[in-house]
Structure 1
Amino acid sequence: MTQTAERYVGRSLPRKEDAALLTGRATWTDDIAPAGTLHLAMVRSPVPHARITRIDTAAARAVPGVVEVLTARDVDGEFAAGIPCGWPVTEDIKIPDHRPLAVSEVKHVGDGVAVVLAGSAAAARDAADLVEVDYEPLPAVVDVEAALEPGAPLVHPELGTNHCYTWPLATGDVDAAFAAADVVVEGRYLQQRVIASPMEPRAVVVVPEPVGGRFTMYTSTQVPHFVRDILAAICGVPDTALRVVAPDVGGGFGAKLNVYAEEALALVLARRTRRPVKWTETRSEHHLATTHGRGQVQRMAVAATREGRILGMKVELLADMGAYLQLLTPGIAVFGAFTYCGLYDFGAYSFTCRGVFTTLTPTDAYRGAGRSEAAYAHERIMDDLARELDMDPAELRLRNLHPKFLEPRTVPSGVLYDSGDYEACMRKALALVDYDALREEQARRRESGEVVQLGVGIGNFTESGGLSPSKVAAGVRLQSGGWEAATVRMTTSGRVEVVTGTSPHGQGHETTWSQLVADKLGVHPDDVVVLHGDTAVAPFGRDTYGSRSLAVGGTAVYLAAGKVLDKAHRIAAHLLEADEADVEFVGGRFSVAGTSGPGVTIQEVAGAASLAADLPEGMEPNLTAEHHFDPPNFTWPFGTHVCVVEVDTETGHTRIRRYVAVDDCGHVVNPQIVEGQLHGGIAQGIGQALYEQAAFDAEGNPTTGTLADYTIPSATDLPWFELDQTVTPSSTNPLGVKGIGESGAIGSSPAVVNAVIDAVAHLGVRHVDMPATPQAVWRAITEARGQTHRHP
């Protein structure tokens, strides 16, 4: 334990978390198995939409080791409410009742019908296979456009419609902008459903405490505080009697930003049996019953002059809700409303989103939620407009960027972006990739008629990070405040404990928070312990999602540490018998400025504060402080991603040759962690662009129910990522940080797809939907050439 004058913020310190993760000493939820645990298995519907006419559990009950086989009729009375929607975006939104087990109808493949409790996971699964359920099939609703047609089958007949809500936004005179335009370009783009696929599937263990009627829940979640508060309401348990712990969490990507039926069932069944109850998701269950991401039909239109200046934009979305509204389902598409205008400056904008029910797995947050979908659409239509104007797509973008701004600026969607220098960022990316040389190579390949053609794609983006200010912003109705809580305390020995309300699942909070506190208090990061993910240790928090952890949670830690330092400063002045104004703090040591007399270390001050024998009059013992930070605005990270691909025009195969990304997330605390977040995000965006799709047949049956059918890119499918940055500090927090966890997933998919289309645009190809598989690209080339022969 030492004082240090070193600065740690801005350095790539090794992650504290990694030693345990890499040596097998991490604790995952599935590692937890208290004595007497009952294992829970779900009986899930194999059909997308049907009435339940009979459930026979006799054979399942006869399996050795089985303790209970329960249907909705047995357990529904245990619940005070159904699974709630936490983000009703309009006053008249339609929210169907969502029970933890289906009562009379199933609404999607994977809908829970019954549960089995047994002494082993194997016995529970075997028994679940023996539960006999008779289904009376009902019409499936798969296509969001068809779902709104008159006479379409209804997912929830009691609602009288498949229409969930309509959410509009408009600024400026859109009709006038389009009437004055020289050119109007329209596009229809699809955001296919994707599956989060974290390394660790979901899992939950609920342990009844032997006295007091309390419960401890271990669950693989991004949001332990939300789980506590929502399950307390669903299950009729006082929130003071429910402790929720997120152990080591093996990825989330938005799919674990939720409260699920299995968590609610485990809690009420632990209460019912007075024994620990455990459920661990199989990978196939994850594909069926964990929320999917994306799922939109996007219609875009831009109005522009012949010189390429954008005058106005229209956006119309159909957003697939799936069968039920999970925690954030209706708000995901709406959240993107503010970034469909991208980095571009124009005068008129309209946005309308309609939510639609289908008989498919519910959708919800997925990395970059709402903003990734927006970036994809506005970057696709920028390339479409450039082709219409016969203009270089980079030049078109440069002509429409906002000028540099360091204070909040109102953008076409009506919100305030915090700061931006978009041109500097974009020009840096173009220079790094040697854009002009690539265009020259592309022209040579086209002229020579080579089989393998070159494509260059640009993905400019901004995103609303730092989720979120508590006050309503731009008409977005949030159900809970976006503040974050932190406590910083120095122990008697002078070490530091940080309690944070954010709950990491791979982001490196323990390392980053230690760097912030070490710099503030003049200690070494190894002398800082960060506690998180346990509602008994950190009772207040709003958890981790929406690129908010550093901008909101880290800021709360920084400000709490500042309060500790202020108190230490007063105590040090008292111990040194000096005026506070004369005492300086350098390298972890207080001394009287301009003198060579004795000083005191902050550790010595901590010891004195603990003993409390000699403190200033009226001061309480100990160096401890808490802070709740409620941001005044979102942060707005941005960047330019450039993808270079080679496309084989005879097979449709795409190879990414180079990938350059220049991002601006404000000030950087740990560059290595920033790079790691970008690597993962870009990989997911490439996955959506080229490989991944949660597909269903016309009857609503999933055709990608396993990893044998759902393609996730491996390391061999990914290029080397060339990363750089610009730094434009945020004006919404004292750290000047913006967030980086989702940026890679936002800029990458449009860059990749634009590159693929650019490679074959001279052949007449104007559109390819994601995923741009070899078959899809080959088919687009073939259709553009007017050919009808079969794929070889």
Structure 2
Amino acid sequence: MPKDSVAGTGIGASTKRREDVRFLTGNGNYTDDINIHGQAYVHFLRSDVAHGRIISIDTSAAAAMPGVVKVFTGKDFEGVGSIPCGWQVTDRHGEVMKEPAHPVLAQGKVRHVGDPIAAVVADSLAEARDAAEAIVFDIEELPAAVNMKAALEPGAPKVHDDLSDNLCYDWGFVEENKGAVDEAIRNAAHVTTLELVNNRLVANPMEPRVAVGDWNKSSDDYTLYTTSQNPHVIRLLMGAFVLGIPEHKLRVVAPDVGGGFGTKIFHYAEEAFCTFAAKACKRPVKWTSTRSEAFMSDAHGRDHVTKIELALDKDNNFTAIRTETYANMGAYLSTFAPSVPTWLHGTLMAGNYKTPNIYVNVKAVFTNTVPVDAYRGAGRPEATYQLERVIDMAARELGVDPIALRRQNFITEFPYATPVAVEYDTGDYPATMDKLEEIADLAGFAARRAESVAKGKLRGLGVNCYIEACGIAPSNLVGQLGARAGLYESATVRVNATGSISVMTGSHSHGQGHETAFPQVVAEMLGIDASMIDIVHGDTGRGPMGMGTYGSRSLAVGGSAMVRATEKIINKAKKIAAHLMEASDSDIELKDGKFTVAGTDKSVAWGDVTLAAYVPHNYPLEDIEPGLEETAFYDPSNFTYPSGAYCCEVELDPETGKVTIERFSAADDFGNIVNPMIVSGQVHGGIAQGVGQALLENCAYDENGQLLSASYMDYAMPRATDVPFYTVDHSCQTPCTHNPLGVKGCGEAGAIGSPPAVINAVIDALNSGGHKVAHMDMPASPSRVWAAMQG
């Protein structure tokens, strides 16, 4: 696609986000803004113990309290399906994963703090809360399985009594590589071994989750309004597998959504409850999560414990990588949880490097904690962190420059088939590193370090590279890998008689700027102004079946579907234009919103053609149908592979251990860029989240499964003063070869590339001050840094 924009609004233009007008003026339409006449409110009574057997629940007093409509317990859902998992993993022994039931409300046992025991529906939220306090229940507290390794020991408390143990699966990839990897490590000139923790995180989007269920008595139709990244998938999972509602009787609407970061991909019990309760109570039912509730009901992220080994030959070429990871699933399998530490993690362990032998082992473990699933990057940050930390550690052990070691081992020829079963189509890793060295001013680092020393501070430099897989696809491949849904995307382009356009997409926006970027794509193709194009999304009743937004797939997959549908529009419009100008459609050219007969001055405007499409007074109807609307489904042939190189400079206070980020630079290759301003914003946000993980955030449980970081009093979110002004560059562009836009995806890159850069910088700062510290787990809090300096 060309890079020159049309009237300043097409591909390549940094047009301002049109959706921000309503967001910044308080006119957004979020789920909590939706109130239906006669609605009731639900409050969930949640377990305050991590593991326990439900002896009794007495709801009689609660049911008799003022305003109470109905009180629900697990017994009311005994004939209802389990919350489904969307991905089935087969382990290295050929056995399918263990997949325990996940009831809407707890049945028999509670399995984590926050597990819903009962739900009160009342005329007001205050009345529902008051009544919940009147529920009398008896739970026999049981020992909790919290530590993953301990949970696999013989005699450990079992999270699910119907399973033999707490192991969900023991996955090896690629199993055929294992012997060669073991041999390469035995014969290596040098092996660096690192054990590390990828700390558990809470996503904390600005908007907490909300669900409003509605039921129409006369038609038996259901509507769920919810904060979701993929309403069509919620309709499929909830309708078919939980509540047994035919899809034509169930509409799912996700209006404006205030952030997701992955945590709003999944189908949650509260959505099913509100939909079910709406019919049971014969009135709409609404639930709005509190922030404290979100900490113990939203899926958490990361939580891996890993041992990684990097083998090198005598010339410092990488020869093998071997990893063993324990991945926390929590108490239940969330929608995509099994795929995150396997297919979204193991397949990226080659990184940017031509390592010939790689083997990845992952043991997924059930524990008495909140379920863990995809969080911004989903598996790729975990892989990148392991790899880039062990490379930095190897460089320090070998006494070589960490950038030179990386450059020596870069993949330089494409396409490149990795030992972990993916093929990178394009990339230029030396170019992104060249650009990083330029924008980060690495040549001036020594002077900046000297200035810090003069102030009594330690200064460190951390560099890393990353590659990620975006636009998860194709459907036939992921189906073989265990996905229980297709991963295509859809688009319907409806051209109105006056020339304006509505584009219905299965992708969903929760902050990415789709309402701005998607019109730029269609405007570029038609040669019209993007203001003529409207984007419709987030409503299963208005658009074709789609898979939603996650994995940086929106432009690469959703945008490609729009391209295909728009191509169909152009082909038909050319036939109409040809008819109007009495020419052959093969001679019609479309440029700048005008149809022209090639080689002549005969032309007809876009608006004239679109009007003729709906006023077909003299059509040859055997050749052209009235109307101008087309639908396309796009299923990619491969992932896209964004990549980049990041640099962080930190200053460390030896007296307090406090780390301050002084400079941060990011050089990314996202392929073709549709809106550079939006891309920069996505990188900025991702880096902020990565910095949060590296320095501040940590979701912690005690040995009894009590959540110790259950509010902002104990969970340290990054503030404005914790992040620097970034230097971001995405001028290195190697277009993707297998989608029509040549785009790769940008939404997760910052969160993938930043944590190892920060930790590498902290380790460098410590060693520059004579503190021989090989590794430090995230977050590098002042107390941890200070303790490391004390030896």
What residue number does 1:375 align with? 384
2:686 equivalent to 1:684:
no
1:467–1:545 CA contact under 8 A, matched in 2: no
Q: Distance in 2 between matches of 1:525 and 1:199?
A: 29
1:329 equivalent in structure 2:
337
Per the alignment, residue 76 of structure 2 pairs with 74
Q: Which residue of the partner structure matches residue 148 of structure 1?
A: 152
| Superposed displacement of residue 441, structure 1 | 4.6
Counterpart contact for 1:468–1:548, Cα < 8 Å? no
CA-CA distance at 1:649 after TM superposition: 1.8
Match of 1:135 in 2: 139
Is residue 2:68 matched to residue 1:60? no
Which residue identity lines up with residue 57 of structure 2 in the other structure? I
Identical residues among aligned pairs (%): 45
What are structure 1's unaligned runs of at least 5 residues? 784-792
Please list every run of at least 4 consecutive aligned residues from structure 1 whose deviation after the TM superposition is greater than 6 angstroms.
none
Residue of structure 1 in register with 2:14 after alignment: 12
Question: Displacement of 1:277 after TM fit?
Answer: 0.6
Query: Which residue of 2 is the match for residue 490 of structure 1?
Result: 495
Q: Secondary structure at the match of 2:790?
A: helix
SS at match of 1:158: coil
Residue aligning to 1:529:
534
Identify the residue that residue 790 of structure 1 maps to in structure 2: none
Q: Residue 581 of structure 1 corresponds to which residue in structure 2?
A: 586
Which residue identity lines up with residue 423 of structure 2 in the other structure? L
The yes-or-no answer on 1:231 pairing with 2:235 is no
Tell me the equivalent position of 1:734.
740
Per the alignment, in what secondary structure is the counterpart of residue 157 of structure 1?
Answer: coil
State the Cα distance separating 1:700 from its structure 2 match: 0.7
**In 1, Cα distance between equivalents of 2:292 and 2:153:** 32
CA distance in 1, matches of 2:478, 2:56: 49
Whether the aligned pair in 1 keeps the contact of 2:479 and 2:486 (CA below 8 Å) is no
SS at match of 1:695: coil
User: 1:336, 1:306 → 2: CA distance?
Assistant: 29
1:102-149 CA distance string (max 9 Å, x none): 111100000010000000111112221222221111111110011111
1:206 alignment counterpart: 213
Q: CA separation in 2, counterparts of 1:9 and 1:771?
A: 39
* Range that drifts further, 56-65 or 42-51: 56-65
In 2, the alpha carbon distance for the partners of 1:594 and 1:347 equals 56
Alignment correspondent of 1:85: 85
Counterpart check, 1:773 vs 2:781: yes
The residue aligned with 1:519 is 524
Counting only pairs closer than 5 Å after superposition, residues 367-766 of structure 1 correspond to structure 2 as 367-405=376-414, 408-439=415-446, 441-442=448-449, 444=450, 451-472=456-477, 476-597=481-602, 599-616=603-620, 617-725=622-730, 726-761=732-767, 762-766=770-774
CA contact (8 A) 1:328 1:365 kept: yes
SS at match of 1:565: helix
Write the deviation string for residues 510-554 of structure 1: whole angstroms up to 9, x where unpaired. 111111111111221111011000000013101000110000000
Q: Distance in 1 between matches of 2:491 and 2:356?
A: 41
- Once residues 202 and 138 of structure 1 are traced to their aligned partners in structure 2, the CA distance between those partners, rounded to angstroms, is 30
How far apart in 1 are the matches of 2:702 and 2:404? 42
* Comparing 286-295 and 154-163, the one that deviates more: 154-163
1:209, CA displacement in angstroms? 2.1
**Counterpart residue type for residue 292 of structure 1:** H
Contact 1:270 1:277 (8 Å CA) reproduced: yes
- Deviation at 1:174? 1.0
Q: Which residue of 1 aligns with 2:316?
A: 308
1:35 and 1:771 mapped to 2: Cα distance?
47
CA change 1:235–1:418 in 2 (3 A) is same
Alpha-carbon distance in 1 for matches of 2:606, 2:359: 56
Tell me the residue number matched to 1:257.
265
Q: Is the 8 A contact 1:403 1:421 kept in 2?
A: yes
Distance 2:429 2:662 in 1: 25
Which whole-Å CA distance do the structure 2 matches of 1:674 and 1:5 have between them?
Answer: 20
Question: Does the 8 A contact of 1:303 with 1:312 survive in 2?
Answer: yes
Classify the secondary structure of the residue corresponding to 2:199. Answer: strand
Query: Retained in 1: the 8 A contact 2:575–2:624?
Result: no
Offset of 1:466 from its aligned partner? 1.1
Q: Contact (CA 8 Å) 1:94, 1:165: kept in 2 or not?
A: yes
Give me the whole-angstrom Cα distance separating, in 1, the residues matched to 2:589 and 2:234. Answer: 45
Task: Supply the distance in 2 between the matched residues of 1:724 and 1:76 (Cα, whole angstroms).
Answer: 55
1:573 Cα deviation from its structure 2 partner: 1.3
Give 2:445's aligned amino acid: L
Q: Who is 1:167 aligned against?
A: 171
Say if 2:491 and 2:544, in contact at 8 Å, map to a contact too: no
C-alpha distance in 1, partners of 2:680/2:788?
Answer: 35
Identify if the C-alpha distance between structure 1 residues 11 and 125 changes in structure 2 by more than 3 Å, giving closer, same or farther.
same
| Residue from 353, 358, 362 that aligns with 2:362 | 353
CA–CA distance in 2 between the matches of 1:741 and 1:32? 28
Is the alpha carbon distance of 1:529 and 1:348 closer, same or farther for their aligned partners in structure 2, counting shifts above 3 Å?
same
The answer as to whether partners of 1:451 and 1:650 remain within 8 angstroms in 2 is: no
**Given the superposition, is the C-alpha separation of residues 700 and 218 from structure 1 closer, same or farther in structure 2, using an over 3 Å criterion?**
same
2:43 maps to: 41
Query: Whole-Å Cα distance in 2 between the matches of residues 379 and 183 of structure 1?
Result: 17
Kept in 2, the 8 Å contact 1:313–1:349? The answer is: yes
Partners of 1:439 and 1:130 in 2: how far apart? 66
Maintained 8 Å contact 1:455/1:760: yes
- 1:215-294 to structure 2, matched below 5 A, reads 215-233=222-240, 234-294=242-302
- Partner Cα distance (1:41, 1:420) in 2: 51
Deviation at 1:667, TM superposition (A): 0.3
CA distance in 2, matches of 1:192, 1:426: 28
Q: How far did 1:776 drift?
A: 0.7
| Stretch moving more, 144-153 or 743-752 | 144-153
CA distance in 2, matches of 1:401, 1:519: 36
Q: Which range is displaced more, 258-267 or 300-309?
A: 300-309
Q: What is the TM-score with the length of structure 2 in the denominator?
A: 0.96
